[in-house]
Amino acid sequence: MKPSKNRLQIQDKYFVPYLSEQEMQQRVQELGKQIATDYSDKKPLLLCILNGSFVFAADLVRTMDTVCQVSFLKYSSYVKDKSSEEAKDLLGIKGLNEELKDRHLIVVEDIVDTGTTMNKLLKELDTHHPASIEIATCLFKPDALKFDISPKYVAFSIPNHFVIGYGLDYDNYGRHLSGIYIVDED
- Residue 84's contacts (CB-CB under 8 Å, 6 or more residues apart) are 77, 78, 116
> For residues 67 and 82, what is the distance between their CA atoms, to the nearest angstrom?
37
- Catalytic residue, from 12, 41, 110, 113: name it: 113
Bridge partners (DSSP) of residue 91 are 74
Q: Is the peptide bond before 6 cis (omega within 30 degrees of 0)?
A: no
Active site residue 41: no
Bridge partners (DSSP) of residue 157 are 140
Nearest to 154 by CA among 14, 16, 17, 19: 19
Active site residues: 113
